[in-house]
C-alpha cells in the first residue's frame, strides 16, 4: 500500500516501437552559463571543450538564450534507415547572426544587461529575439517532395488512445523580461499514426508576436510523413481587439494571427 503513495519520479528518457518506427526522447538539465574552467574563462582551441564552449564555438552567437536544454532530443528512426530528429543546436543555428531585424526600445537595455565578458563584441548585431525557421533535422534517407495536400485536422481531432506523448523544450529566453522566445516540440502516438508539433513562439511585449509551426503527421500504411510549415506574425496594434490574456497562450493567440507563409511536403522514407 505504501508503494502506491510514492510519486512517479521524473523520467529523462522514454521510447516506444511503433510499427516500423523507433521513437525516443531524451531530456536533461539546462546548459550551464559558466565555462567549466570558471567564471569569465573559456576553453581554448586544443582543449576538450566543455558543454557551454561547445555551443558557443559551434554557433558563434554573441549570447545564447537564457535556457538552452542542450541534451533534449526527440528522435524517430525507421527500420530502413530514415531518421528525423529535433535538436536545440540545430534550431539555434538558424538564428540570424550579423543582422538585427527588430529594433525596439528594450533592445538597448537587453544588450547592456548582458555581461561584457560573455560577448565577443558588446554591440555585435544579431537577432536578439532568437527567431528560428527550424523545421527538424531529417537525414539523407528521406526523399522530400512538395505536396498539395492539407493537414488532416478532422482525423487528428478524432478521439484515440494515446500510446506515447511528450513535450520537450529546446530553448527559451525571456528577452530581459520584455517577452518570450521559445522553441519546443511535442509528439503524440496513436494507433492510427503519430503527430508532431515543432513550434517557435515569439512575443515582444507591446510590439509583436510570431509563431512558426511545423506539423508532421504520419498515418499507418503510408510511405511518407506529411509536413506542413506555417509562419504567422502580427503586431500588438493589429491584435488590439484580442483579450490580453490570450497573448501568453500560443494555442489561443494563433487563431487571431494571419498566416504569412504556408508550405507542405511529403517526406518519403522508403
What confidence tens digit (pLDDT) does each residue in 210-224 have?
A: 999 999 999 999 999
Rounded Cα distance between 219 and 19, Å, is 11
Report how many domains make up the chain. 1
231 lies in some domain:
yes
For residue range 158-192, list pLDDT tens digits in order: 999 999 999 999 999 999 888 999 999 999 999 99
Segments forming the whole domain that contains residue 178:
13-268
pTM of the model: 0.87
Rounded Cα distance between 267 and 227, Å, is 7
Question: At 119, is the pLDDT very low, low, confident or very high (cuts 50, 70, 90)?
Answer: very low
16, 86, 110, 234 from 186: Cα distances, Å: 15, 10, 30, 24
pLDDT at residue 125, rounded to an integer: 62
55 lies in some domain:
yes
235 lies in some domain:
yes
Q: What are phi and psi of 91, to 5 degrees?
A: -65, -40
Question: At 227, is the pLDDT very low, low, confident or very high (cuts 50, 70, 90)?
Answer: very high
159 lies in some domain:
yes
**Cα-only R_g, the chain:** 20
Position with higher pLDDT, 48 vs 198 = 198
2 lies in some domain:
no
182 lies in some domain:
yes
- From first CA to last CA, the distance across the chain in angstroms is 50
**Is residue 60 pLDDT above 90, yes or no?**
no
pLDDT at residue 83, rounded to an integer: 98
Over residues 53-69, mean pLDDT: 90
Q: Which residues pair with 195 in a beta bridge?
A: 188, 217
Over residues 134-155, mean pLDDT: 95
Question: At 121, is the pLDDT very low, low, confident or very high (cuts 50, 70, 90)?
Answer: very low
**Is residue 38 pLDDT above 80, yes or no?**
yes
120 lies in some domain:
yes
Kindly report the three-state secondary structure assignment for every residue of the chain.
CHHHHCCCCCCCEEEEEECCEEEEEECCCCCCCCCCCCCCCCCCCCCCCCHHHHHHHHHCCCCCCCEECCCCEEEEEECCCCEEEECHHHHHHCCCECCCCCCCHHHHHHHHHCCHHHCCCCCCCECCCCCCCCCCEECCCCEEEECCCCCCHHHHHCCCCCCEEEEEEEEEECCCCCEEEEEEEEEEEECCEEEEEEEEEEEECCCEEEEEEEEEEEECCCCEEEEEEEEEEEECCCCCCCCHHHHHCHHHHHHHCCEEEEEEEEEECC
Rounded Cα distance between 55 and 65, Å, is 11
Q: CA neighbours within 13 Å on the CB side: how many for 207?
A: 16
pLDDT at residue 101, rounded to an integer: 52
Q: Which residues pair with 229 in a beta bridge?
A: 214, 263
Position with higher pLDDT, 5 vs 78 = 78
Rounded Cα distance between 120 and 123, Å, is 9
Rounded Cα distance between 77 and 88, Å, is 18
For residue range 197-213, list pLDDT tens digits in order: 999 999 999 999 999 99
Rounded Cα distance between 150 and 160, Å, is 21
Instruction: Calculate what percentage of the chain has a pLDDT beyond 90.
Output: 69
7 lies in some domain:
no
Rounded Cα distance between 58 and 93, Å, is 8
pLDDT at residue 117, rounded to an integer: 44
Nearest to 252 by CA among 261, 239, 265: 239
Question: At 42, is the pLDDT very low, low, confident or very high (cuts 50, 70, 90)?
Answer: confident
Question: At 120, is the pLDDT very low, low, confident or very high (cuts 50, 70, 90)?
Answer: very low
pLDDT at residue 99, rounded to an integer: 55
Amino acid at each position: 500500500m505504501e508503494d502506491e503513495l510514492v510519486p512517479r519520479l521524473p523520467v529523462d528518457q522514454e521510447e516506444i516501437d511503433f510499427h516500423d518506427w523507433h521513437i525516443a526522447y531524451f531530456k536533461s538539465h539546462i546548459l550551464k552559463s559558466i565555462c567549466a574552467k570558471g567564471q569569465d574563462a573559456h576553453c581554448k582551441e586544443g582543449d576538450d571543450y566543455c558543454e557551454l564552449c561547445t555551443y558557443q564555438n559551434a554557433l558563434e552567437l554573441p549570447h545564447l538564450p537564457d535556457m538552452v536544454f542542450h541534451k533534449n532530443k526527440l528522435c524517430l528512426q525507421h527500420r530502413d534507415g530514415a531518421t528525423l530528429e529535433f535538436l536545440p543546436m540545430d534550431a539555434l543555428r538558424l538564428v540570424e547572426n550579423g543582422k538585427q531585424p527588430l529594433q525596439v526600445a528594450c533592445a538597448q537595455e537587453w544588450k547592456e544587461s548582458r555581461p561584457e565578458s560573455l560577448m565577443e563584441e558588446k554591440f555585435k548585431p544579431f537577432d536578439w529575439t532568437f527567431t528560428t525557421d527550424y523545421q527538424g533535422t531529417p537525414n539523407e534517407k528521406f526523399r522530400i517532395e512538395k505536396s498539395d495536400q492539407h493537414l488532416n485536422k478532422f482525423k487528428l481531432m478524432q478521439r484515440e488512445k494515446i500510446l506515447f506523448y511528450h513535450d520537450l523544450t529546446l530553448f527559451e529566453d525571456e528577452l530581459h523580461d520584455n517577452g518570450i522566445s521559445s522553441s519546443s516540440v511535442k509528439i503524440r502516438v496513436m494507433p492510427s499514426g503519430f503527430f508532431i508539433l515543432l513550434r517557435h513562439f515569439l512575443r515582444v511585449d507591446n510590439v509583436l508576436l510570431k509563431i512558426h509551426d511545423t506539423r508532421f503527421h504520419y498515418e499507418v500504411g503510408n510511405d511518407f510523413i506529411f509536413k506542413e510549415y506555417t509562419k504567422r506574425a502580427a503586431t500588438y496594434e493589429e491584435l488590439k481587439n484580442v483579450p490580453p490574456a490570450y497573448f501568453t497562450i500560443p494555442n489561443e493567440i494563433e487563431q487571431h494571427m494571419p498566416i504569412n507563409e504556408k508550405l507542405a511536403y511529403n517526406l518519403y522514407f522508403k
